[in-house]
Chain A
Amino acid sequence: MHLDEFQLHQPESLPEAISLAREFAGQFDYLAGGTDLLPNYKMHLNPRPHLISLDAIPELHRFSPDQGDLGAMVRLREMEGSAGLASRYPAVAQAAREVATPLVRASGTLGGNLLVETRCFFFNQSYFWRQSLGFCLKADGDRCHVVPQKEKCYATFSGDLAPALMALDARVRLMGPEGTREIPLTDLYPRDGDGIRRTSLRAGEVLEGVTLPPPVQGLRSIYLKLRVRPSYDFPELGVAVALCQDGGRVSHLRVALGGLEMVPRRMDALTDPLVGSQLTGESLRALGEAIRSAVRPVHNTFLAPDYRRKMTAVLVRRAVRSLTEGS
């Protein structure tokens, strides 16, 4: 397999990047670590003739976990090794460590992982393979092989950092031809989106960075990942939990899930009612079951969807339990 030719642009400032984006509208991808994008290009999955690298833009590399300020181009390796990040936002450091392999993490970035292409075993295949079956909605075709229809793509969101950051109420800064905006990370992933319309980014917008609120006193967090092998594999399920207890009662609880559906999501409607209550084995079990029945994975990853749903309940319970132990 070979990469088709593309033109690489290496702007040194955000305004320069955005003006390139305007110039090559619809004909480019932003390039961060490239660990996912370039293999996809090799498989001829929606390659574009222009790549706008973000690597030469200094401010995107800023890394101040103590201020909760992370540039989009921070490498996952830097995040996983950061004591500051691990002490303030443990779930984020854990999620960074759980991504792929050390080699991938040396190139892979925070922004790249948040915007990583959705995955599906009908999509992540060579051109030859897809040609043999018939192309799908997500690349070169007009139908879905997972759920046979022609409207919606069911590819699975496969980043690890999004659930961890969502559980910690992260916000993202976006810069584009129409200006700068800051939105909650949860809003980056539209609830009515699908495997193709997977973010609320506007044309030409760059994910500039992530801000995390300072952790409130007693806030604990954790990220648990389900995958067949302890390395390499994308998540079959990722569960992030942030919990704060006050005198045995829940004062703050967030559960966010990735690797399961087309977009990552936070389960506030199911966790908010627990605020103010005492966590018991019973309420924890009920929470796990409620989340399990709320999620809808499809069969487009290695492990069967019914199993992944069951594991959602198990990992949610385990995550909360490990945060309550010793507190």
Chain B
Amino acid sequence: MTPAASGEAPAVPHRLIGARVPLVDASLKVTGRAEYTDDLRRPNLLVGRILKSVHPHARIRKIDVTEARKVPGVAAVLTGDRYPRTFGVLPMTHDETALAVDRVRYIGEGVVAVAAVDEETCERAFARIRVEYEPLPVYDDPKVSRNPVAVKIHERALRDTNLQKEVFQHFGDLPGAWRAAAHSVRVSARYAGVTHAFTEPHAVLAEYSPDGRLTVWSATQVPHYLHRALSEVLDLPMHRIRVIKPEVGGGFGGKSDPFPHEIACAALAMETGRPVKIVFDRDDVFYTNHGRHPTWNTVGIAADALGRFTALDVEALLDGGAWSSFGTVTTYYNGVLAMGPYQFPNFRYHGARAYTNHPPSGAMRAHGGTNIRYSVEVAVDMLAEEMGWDPTELRLRNFLPPHSTTVNEFRITSNSVRQCLLAARERSGWREKFRALPYGQGIGIACGFYISGSNSPIHFTPKFPQCTVHLKVDMDGGVTVHCGAADIGQGSKTILAQVVGEVLGIPLDRIRIAAVDSDTAPIDIGSYSSRVTFMMGNAAKRAAEDLRRQLVQAASDLTGYARESLECGGDRIYVRHRPQVGVSFLEAVHRAMEHTGALHASGSYESAPMGGTFKGARAGTAPAYSFSAYAAEVEVDVETGFVRVRKVWAGFDCGRPLNPQSVEGQIEGSIHMGLGQLLSESLNYRGPRLMNPSLLDYKIVMPQDMPEVECLLVGEDDPEGPFGAKEAGEGPLIPVLPAVGNALYDALGVRFLDLPITPDKVLRALEEKERREGRLSKPAPPAVMPVPAGGTDHAPR
């Protein structure tokens, strides 16, 4: 082993960060080899099914399961009284139970769980279950939730109403600013509820072994919160519960709560001593929902004569459905996420979330930031029109600067929203198109921002970092990465591998990402709030740097060169100024293990304290924010009302894109999802009843309807993100809705304030406009057109 002889010196150091790396599990997924929960089999496996409530709101007088227990093949029949302890994702609002206790609150709520040899037997058992219900008043309209009610949906609702949460915030002097304003607009909009429509339905497998240990495999975004909920409700210590997350076929927030069916499945496994699996039908997924809240909001924006925003006034009312879920956070987000990317010296928010007898609403991609953003960006557009300004100029005038603080004390660090807007404006040909395309065609622009990881973990006790990564190296030279971060298809495993590989200068095939298994993986608090790349990335980087220190020491011992002169790259550790001198990675590993037999390293991430001290100050604080500006071009068939989005220019600031291919995938997927909410998706309720619990009747956008997307990644390195990166998982969804909404105004002269904008609504709006104005025409062009952008300072990477 002569150092000088080991391998060719690389001309350029190996680089994984910023490379277009295909997702490390792509080959397994496209060949069908990846294992999802439903693929898992255990000996003596039972099928679990849950009998659902047919009533939207009723007292349970009696449940008789005697006959069901006698059905041959039935192993267990479980009712809510067995595990009545409440749980929920937020510690302050526990109001869910594994199965209904005394009361059902929506059509589809679980009432009885059955484990049997097969699904047919479960259904035979269901037919023999007698549930006596006493119907209660049904509340399906959140607009009357402030009124006193005869029967509160939950005792914990505010006063004698069905309000789950109310938020009042006021910064500065809003009434004063409003009185002094030179210009102001107010816009009210309505948003139908939408749901995640991920590919893989919820699925869980649980097994309780004779040594008193429970193992749960589940399609979850939050293995750690599931771990806690199982422990609390089943009254088992956490160390006797093992949570494993197999591959997950999409989540988008819809798998980010601990769910009743997960607990019920574990309870059935404990009851029977046999493994039990529950896989949802698609309609079960729709009833479980936890999607974006049906929302009514009003946004007022005031500006001075120079076009500077002086005040933002926001009201929001959310239909929370039957449970709290993330609702308290949602209620805050619908206000506090209204401000950025603009500067407002005065801000007022009144938000409320109602309990109703609809399936629960919860967190969905760009949680709390989507509906309010549409209203704000439409209001900005309207304000620009009232002032006779080009809307891009008005936005440029009002952006938050980088490294600033908002009036509600958000700490803003890196911020390239200006570059996003300039890039989208230039690439889209805005100057030539705005107000200038033929009637029925239009272009619009809108901005956005989103948290890059909620600064506050949901649980504070015991105190622990938001993410920890362990690395383990053995004689074979493979680096095994243990981390609780849940890859749900977004690609976090790939980011882990890229970060570790980059720091150690090794190729991806040396890196093995271990399955998320609570027995071996340190905690990551979950795939929500777009926190994983930022927080896990930092933890992984620190762990890899720890390992690198140990290996560089070994290489130094072998080569005789000082540690400071050594570099990792090309699967080697070599002397920086004499690259031909060095050792292979494997040689360094073997040397480092010589006397310990083991090589381990750890790293973790904990975000810095931030935010104000007022009530609710933590909501919306994040160690960084992504920023965005999209331009969209549309074409409307004015005889049928069908909207075609021709192209989207997506200016996005995710700091440094660690994997541009993956970022572009997130942007394209976000646009697909956002267009669904904008144009065709809605949970159609008739009273308490969901009319379209199927993927045929719930209209997600088809690939044929996807516009061309041009991604403009213009961010600068974030000072705290791993290698300068910020989130790209949720923020990219936000601006597409208002960009298209504003483009529709440019095309037709009609503001659409009731989502989704289905063809019948477009046509009705055009008919009304024609009746009112006598003709159909485009809005007038603004007096102030943008100056040519020029220069290359915002050129895409």
Q: Tell me if B541 is interfacial: C-beta within 8 Å of chain A.
A: no
A311–B637 Cα distance when bound, in Å, is 12
For A, the interface residue count at a CB cutoff of 8 angstroms equals 27
Report the minimal beta-carbon distance from B104 to chain A, rounded to whole angstroms: 11
Taking a contact as CB atoms under 8 Å apart, the answer to whether A2 and B120 are in contact is: yes
Taking a contact as CB atoms under 8 Å apart, the answer to whether A1 and B702 are in contact is: no
Taking a contact as CB atoms under 8 Å apart, the answer to whether A128 and B120 are in contact is: no
Q: Tell me if B734 is interfacial: C-beta within 8 Å of chain A.
A: no
CB-CB under 8 A for A302 and B699, given A121-B691, A126-B281, A132-B107? yes
Q: Tell me if B760 is interfacial: C-beta within 8 Å of chain A.
A: yes
CB-CB under 8 A for A230 and B704, given A1-B281, A128-B283, A314-B640? yes
Residue of A with least CB distance to B122: A2
Which among A1, A132, A232, A310 has the greatest number of chain B C-beta atoms within 10 A?
A132
- CB neighbours (8 Å) of A230 from chain B are 702, 704-705
- CB neighbours (8 Å) of A121 from chain B are 691-692, 697
A133–B690 Cα distance when bound, in Å, is 11
Q: Tell me if B353 is interfacial: C-beta within 8 Å of chain A.
A: no
A199–B729 Cα distance when bound, in Å, is 52
Which among A129, A133, A310 has the greatest number of chain B C-beta atoms within 10 A?
A129
Q: Tell me if B298 is interfacial: C-beta within 8 Å of chain A.
A: no
Q: Tell me if A29 is interfacial: C-beta within 8 Å of chain B.
A: no
Taking a contact as CB atoms under 8 Å apart, the answer to whether A128 and B54 are in contact is: yes
Q: Residue B704 contacts which of A129, A131, A231, A318 (CB distance < 8 angstroms)?
A: A231
Q: Tell me if B119 is interfacial: C-beta within 8 Å of chain A.
A: yes
- CB neighbours (8 Å) of B760 from chain A are 303-304, 307
Q: Residue B696 contacts which of A133, A233, A310, A311 (CB distance < 8 angstroms)?
A: A233
Report the minimal beta-carbon distance from B286 to chain A, rounded to whole angstroms: 10
- CB neighbours (8 Å) of A133 from chain B are 689
- CB neighbours (8 Å) of B641 from chain A are 307
Taking a contact as CB atoms under 8 Å apart, the answer to whether A229 and B705 are in contact is: yes
- CB neighbours (8 Å) of B52 from chain A are 128
Q: Tell me if B759 is interfacial: C-beta within 8 Å of chain A.
A: yes
CB-CB under 8 A for A126 and B640, given A304-B760, A307-B760, A310-B763? no
Report the minimal beta-carbon distance from B121 to chain A, rounded to whole angstroms: 11
Q: Residue B759 contacts which of A131, A132, A232, A307 (CB distance < 8 angstroms)?
A: A307
- CB neighbours (8 Å) of A310 from chain B are 763
A34–B119 Cα distance when bound, in Å, is 22
Q: Tell me if A228 is interfacial: C-beta within 8 Å of chain B.
A: yes
Residues in A226-278 with C-beta less than 8 Å from chain B: 226, 228-234
Report the minimal beta-carbon distance from A269 to chain B, rounded to whole angstroms: 25
A129–B690 Cα distance when bound, in Å, is 9
Taking a contact as CB atoms under 8 Å apart, the answer to whether A307 and B692 are in contact is: no
CB-CB under 8 A for A229 and B702, given A2-B119, A303-B758? yes
Taking a contact as CB atoms under 8 Å apart, the answer to whether A132 and B54 are in contact is: yes
Report the minimal beta-carbon distance from B627 to chain A, rounded to whole angstroms: 32
Interface 1/0 per residue, B36-53 and A, CB below 8 Å:
000000000000000010
A contacts with B: majority SS: loop
- CB neighbours (8 Å) of A128 from chain B are 52, 54, 108, 283
Residue of B with least CB distance to A132: B54
- CB neighbours (8 Å) of A129 from chain B are 283, 693
Taking a contact as CB atoms under 8 Å apart, the answer to whether B689 and A132 are in contact is: yes
A311–B638 Cα distance when bound, in Å, is 12
Taking a contact as CB atoms under 8 Å apart, the answer to whether B283 and A126 are in contact is: yes
- CB neighbours (8 Å) of B704 from chain A are 229-231
A162–B339 Cα distance when bound, in Å, is 55
A226–B758 Cα distance when bound, in Å, is 13
- CB neighbours (8 Å) of B54 from chain A are 128, 131-132
- CB neighbours (8 Å) of A132 from chain B are 54-55, 107, 689
A126–B694 Cα distance when bound, in Å, is 10
CB < 8 Å A-B pair total: 64
A128–B108 Cα distance when bound, in Å, is 9
Taking a contact as CB atoms under 8 Å apart, the answer to whether A231 and B702 are in contact is: yes
Report the minimal beta-carbon distance from B175 to chain A, rounded to whole angstroms: 42
CB-CB under 8 A for A228 and B680, given A2-B119, A132-B689, A303-B759? yes
A1–B639 Cα distance when bound, in Å, is 41
A304–B763 Cα distance when bound, in Å, is 12
CB-CB under 8 A for A228 and B758, given A129-B283, A131-B54? yes
Report the minimal beta-carbon distance from B49 to chain A, rounded to whole angstroms: 10
Report the minimal beta-carbon distance from A305 to chain B, rounded to whole angstroms: 10
Interface 1/0 per residue, A201-238 and B, CB below 8 Å:
00000000000000000000000001011111110000
Report the minimal beta-carbon distance from A244 to chain B, rounded to whole angstroms: 26
Residues in B369-385 with C-beta less than 8 Å from chain A: none
Residue of B with least CB distance to A121: B691
Residues in A103-126 with C-beta less than 8 Å from chain B: 121, 124-126
A311–B759 Cα distance when bound, in Å, is 11
Residue of B with least CB distance to A229: B702
Q: Tell me if B167 is interfacial: C-beta within 8 Å of chain A.
A: no
Taking a contact as CB atoms under 8 Å apart, the answer to whether B640 and A226 are in contact is: yes
Report the minimal beta-carbon distance from A159 to chain B, rounded to whole angstroms: 16
A229–B703 Cα distance when bound, in Å, is 10
Report the minimal beta-carbon distance from A127 to chain B, rounded to whole angstroms: 9
CB-CB under 8 A for A232 and B696, given A132-B54, A307-B763? yes
Q: Tell me if B65 is interfacial: C-beta within 8 Å of chain A.
A: no
A118–B55 Cα distance when bound, in Å, is 28
Report the minimal beta-carbon distance from A298 to chain B, rounded to whole angstroms: 15
Residue of A with least CB distance to B676: A229
- CB neighbours (8 Å) of B691 from chain A are 121
Report the minimal beta-carbon distance from B359 to chain A, rounded to whole angstroms: 12
- CB neighbours (8 Å) of B699 from chain A are 228-229, 233, 302
- CB neighbours (8 Å) of A307 from chain B are 641, 759-760, 763-764
Q: Tell me if B437 is interfacial: C-beta within 8 Å of chain A.
A: no
Interface 1/0 per residue, A125-148 and B, CB below 8 Å:
110110111000000000000000
Report the minimal beta-carbon distance from B693 to chain A, rounded to whole angstroms: 7
Residue of B with least CB distance to A131: B54
Residue of B with least CB distance to A230: B704
Report the minimal beta-carbon distance from B444 to chain A, rounded to whole angstroms: 22
- CB neighbours (8 Å) of A126 from chain B are 281, 283, 693
Taking a contact as CB atoms under 8 Å apart, the answer to whether A232 and B281 are in contact is: no
A232–B55 Cα distance when bound, in Å, is 31
- CB neighbours (8 Å) of A228 from chain B are 680, 699, 758-759
Taking a contact as CB atoms under 8 Å apart, the answer to whether B705 and A302 are in contact is: no
A129–B54 Cα distance when bound, in Å, is 8
Q: Residue A229 contacts which of B108, B680, B693 (CB distance < 8 angstroms)?
A: B680
Report the minimal beta-carbon distance from A306 to chain B, rounded to whole angstroms: 8
Q: Tell me if B182 is interfacial: C-beta within 8 Å of chain A.
A: no
Taking a contact as CB atoms under 8 Å apart, the answer to whether B763 and A232 are in contact is: no
CB-CB under 8 A for A311 and B702, given A121-B691, A126-B281, A228-B758? no
Taking a contact as CB atoms under 8 Å apart, the answer to whether A314 and B639 are in contact is: yes
A124–B119 Cα distance when bound, in Å, is 21
Q: Tell me if B701 is interfacial: C-beta within 8 Å of chain A.
A: yes
Interface 1/0 per residue, A1-41 and B, CB below 8 Å:
11000000000000000000000000000000000000000
Residue of A with least CB distance to B698: A302
Interface 1/0 per residue, B670-698 and A, CB below 8 Å:
00000000001000000001011110110
- CB neighbours (8 Å) of A1 from chain B are 281
Residues in B757-797 with C-beta less than 8 Å from chain A: 758-760, 763-764
Residue of A with least CB distance to B691: A121
A47–B279 Cα distance when bound, in Å, is 24
Residue of B with least CB distance to A301: B697
- CB neighbours (8 Å) of B283 from chain A are 126, 128-129
Give 10 A-B contacts (CB < 8 Å), ordered by A residue: A132-B55, A132-B107, A230-B702, A232-B696, A303-B759, A303-B760, A307-B760, A310-B763, A311-B640, A314-B640
Residues of B bordering A, CB below 8 Å: 52, 54-55, 107-108, 119-120, 123, 281, 283, 639-641, 680, 689, 691-694, 696-697, 699, 701-702, 704-705, 758-760, 763-764
**Top 6 A-B pairs, shortest CB-CB distance:** A307-B760, A132-B54, A230-B704, A231-B702, A229-B702, A2-B119
Q: A129-B693, A229-B702, A307-B763 are known; give 7 further A-B pairs, CB within 8 A.
A: A121-B691, A126-B283, A132-B54, A132-B689, A226-B640, A229-B680, A232-B702
